[in-house]
């Protein structure tokens, strides 16, 4: 009898030990009691996103579209004497890296020019229970408020960042530590949460999701994204030094998990492993940006700023018009944010040319390309004028009357960029930086912005005409206005 009792107790001990070993660590710990993410979900937030599941599934992310741009209000929390705050160069570098990932979802972030400095010793090491104390006096309405602090201290653990997920009562705040700002993943992960993404292991920390390895319940379980495999939750024991999953856990059907350990939304504590979003995650974020977070807008300039910009327009303004003649007629176009979609489909070798009117002093370049060939230079060629001094100048490209370009026979889609610039560029080097960007998730249009994002004027500073190719822009910090045309070919 005693032997039987001992055997039963020993079996229970082994079972409990096994279960403890298989339980995922709550919230994705990075070791030493510090969590990767402090973002949590309440029932209302979960139900809110669940109500969009079918719409996300039906959302067509493959249609032509321009970029959606979102303003960031940067709040830098320093000590009371002003020391130990984050440097602006660090913020700019972090936004540059953030955009490289989010441009794949046709999302671009631009900081508002007036950075806000908060000098307060008590908030420098920020206890999250003091969120309202920190944010209420400083929040900017209907923009994404990014607070950079020295430390984020929760009730039990510190963590690198957190935000507020989409809900019926949205909160537009994201928090990140100064140290985590430069690690290349935390800001991307928290912005992923802000635009509707869950951790790949599911939204409830410490509770393994019921998503099956087969994927048959992927729409409603786990992270609700079907191209991210079921994930049991990860810790350092389940990932080796080569970023390979070495866990042995099985789902309810006794199938071994094969999680996506290189995903930005993974709880993989090995930071350098997490590098990308899946196509399904990019689609979910684009949907959220288009239909849920679409209230976020660049604030209109104050009256004093309007007067100031009017004075600056003479020096910094850019204005132009374009007529795109293809197949012996003026093309009809549709404006999609900052991209003109040319109506119709064109056969190889169809002739086309441009009539460009420049209304301000500056340089003009014309590029053409597709996904396979990249961009190449159409204008200027040897002997062509690229700098225009006159207030108004109308010219033809190609410059010789009767000459024309031809639609390339390869592929199904072409891009043309007419680039207006206040500064001279070196076209070969400029295009090389675009064409050599090695990221299969970026299309050619997105690669252009990824390579030169800090030079390109934001959409909020450009007034596009929607019924013809015409624009007006003023910016003191950025100097390039690209006018993009996209047309289909067969």
Global confidence as pTM: 0.90
Cα 39 vs. chain centroid, distance in angstroms?
Answer: 19
Cis peptide before 398, with omega less than 30 degrees from 0? yes
- What is each CA distance from 61 to 30, 70, 489, in whole angstroms? 34, 18, 20
What is the topology classification, in CATH, of domain 34-292?
Answer: Collagenase (Catalytic Domain) (3.40.390)
Angstrom distance (rounded) from CA 117 to CA 239:
40
User: Which residues are 69's β-sheet partners?
Assistant: 108
Query: In this structure, how many other beta carbons lie within 10 angstroms of the beta carbon of residue 59?
Result: 17
CB pairs under 8 A, 24+ apart, for 220-223?
A: 220/50, 220/53, 222/198, 223/197, 223/198, 223/199, 223/265, 223/281
Query: What is the predicted pLDDT for the residue at 8?
Result: 45
Place of tokens 């176009």: 333
The answer to whether residues 139 and 77 touch, using CB atoms and an 8 Å cutoff, is no
Query: In this structure, how many other beta carbons lie within 10 angstroms of the beta carbon of residue 429?
Result: 8
Domain with CATH 3.40.390.10 in the chain: 34-292
Query: What is the predicted pLDDT for the residue at 208?
Result: 85
Cis peptide before 380, with omega less than 30 degrees from 0? yes
Buried b (16+ CB within 10 A) or exposed e, 21-44: eeebbebbbbeeebbbbbbebeee
Place of tokens 């999701």: 209
The answer to whether residues 326 and 487 touch, using CB atoms and an 8 Å cutoff, is yes
Q: Which of 455, 67, 142 is nearest to 293 (CA)?
A: 142
Place of tokens 């000590």: 79
Query: What is the predicted pLDDT for the residue at 10?
Result: 43
The answer to whether residues 94 and 135 touch, using CB atoms and an 8 Å cutoff, is no
pLDDT in tens, the chain (490 residues): 445 444 544 444 444 433 333 333 334 443 333 467 999 999 999 999 999 999 999 999 998 999 999 999 999 999 999 999 999 999 999 999 999 999 999 999 999 988 999 999 999 999 999 999 999 999 999 999 999 999 999 988 899 999 999 999 999 999 999 999 999 999 999 999 999 999 999 998 778 889 999 999 999 999 999 999 999 999 889 999 999 999 999 999 999 999 999 999 999 998 889 999 999 999 999 999 999 999 999 998 766 566 776 777 778 889 999 999 999 999 999 999 999 999 999 999 999 999 999 999 999 999 999 999 999 999 999 999 999 987 789 999 999 999 999 999 999 999 999 999 999 999 999 999 999 998 999 999 999 999 999 999 999 999 999 889 999 998 888 999 999 999 999 8
Angstrom distance (rounded) from CA 381 to CA 373:
19
Q: For strand 107-111 and strand 68-78, is the pairing parallel, antiparallel, or unpaired?
A: parallel
Tokens representing 448 are 């252009």
Angstrom distance (rounded) from CA 294 to CA 417:
27
Question: Quick one: the chain helix, strand, coil %, rounded to 5?
Answer: 25, 30, 45
- In this structure, the chain runs to a length of 490
Angstrom distance (rounded) from CA 398 to CA 35:
59
């Amino acid at each position: 009898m005693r032997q039987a009792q001992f055997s039963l107790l020993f079996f229970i001990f082994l079972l409990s030990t096994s279960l403890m070993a298989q339980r995922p660590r709550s919230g994705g710990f990075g070791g030493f009691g510090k969590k990767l993410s402090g973002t949590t979900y309440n029932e209302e937030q979960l139900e809110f996103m669940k109500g969009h599941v079918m719409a996300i599934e039906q959302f067509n992310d493959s249609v032509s579209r321009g970029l959606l741009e979102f303003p960031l209000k940067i709040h830098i929390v320093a000590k009371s004497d002003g020391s130990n705050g984050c440097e602006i160069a660090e913020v700019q570098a972090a936004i540059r890296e953030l955009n490289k990932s989010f441009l794949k979802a046709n999302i671009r972030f631009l900081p508002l020019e007036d950075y806000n400095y908060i000098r307060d010793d008590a908030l420098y090491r920020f206890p999250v229970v003091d969120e309202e104390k920190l944010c209420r006096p400083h929040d900017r309405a209907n923009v994404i408020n990014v607070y950079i602090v020295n430390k984020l201290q929760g009730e039990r653990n510190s963590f690198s960042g957190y935000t507020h997920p989409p809900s019926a009562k949205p909160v537009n705040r994201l928090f990140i530590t100064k140290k985590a700002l430069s690690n290349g993943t935390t800001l991307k992960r928290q912005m992923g949460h802000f635009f509707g993404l869950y951790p790949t292991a599911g939204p409830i920390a410490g509770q393994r999701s019921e998503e099956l390895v087969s994927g048959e319940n992927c729409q409603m379980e786990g992270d609700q994204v079907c191209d991210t495999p079921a994930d049991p939750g990860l810790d350092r024991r389940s990932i080796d030094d080569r970023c390979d999953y070495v866990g042995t856990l099985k789902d309810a059907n006794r199938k071994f998990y094969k999680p996506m350990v290189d995903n930005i939304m993974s709880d993989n504590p090995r930071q350098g492993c997490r590098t990308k979003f899946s196509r399904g995650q990019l689609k979910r974020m684009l949907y959220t940006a288009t239909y849920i977070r679409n209230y976020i807008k660049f604030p209109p300039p104050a009256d004093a700023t309007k007067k100031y910009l009017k004075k600056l327009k003479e020096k910094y303004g850019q204005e132009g018009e374009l007529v795109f003649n293809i197949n012996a007629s003026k093309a009809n176009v549709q404006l999609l944010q900052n991209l003109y979609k040319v109506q119709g489909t064109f056969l190889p070798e169809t002739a086309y040319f441009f009539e460009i009117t420049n209304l301000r002093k500056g340089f003009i370049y014309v590029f053409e390309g597709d996904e396979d060939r990249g961009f190449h230079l159409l204008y200027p060629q040897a002997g062509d004028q690229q700098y225009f001094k006159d207030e108004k100048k109308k010219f033809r490209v190609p410059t010789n009357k009767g000459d024309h370009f031809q639609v390339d026979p390869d592929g199904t889609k072409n891009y043309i960029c007419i680039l207006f610039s206040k500064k001279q560029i070196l076209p070969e080097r400029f295009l090389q930086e675009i064409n050599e960007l090695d990221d299969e998730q970026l299309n050619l249009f997105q690669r252009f912005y990824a390579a030169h994002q800090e030079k390109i004027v934001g959409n909020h500073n450009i007034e596009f005409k929607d019924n013809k190719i015409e624009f007006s822009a003023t910016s003191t910090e950025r100097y390039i206005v690209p006018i993009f045309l996209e047309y289909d070919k067969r």
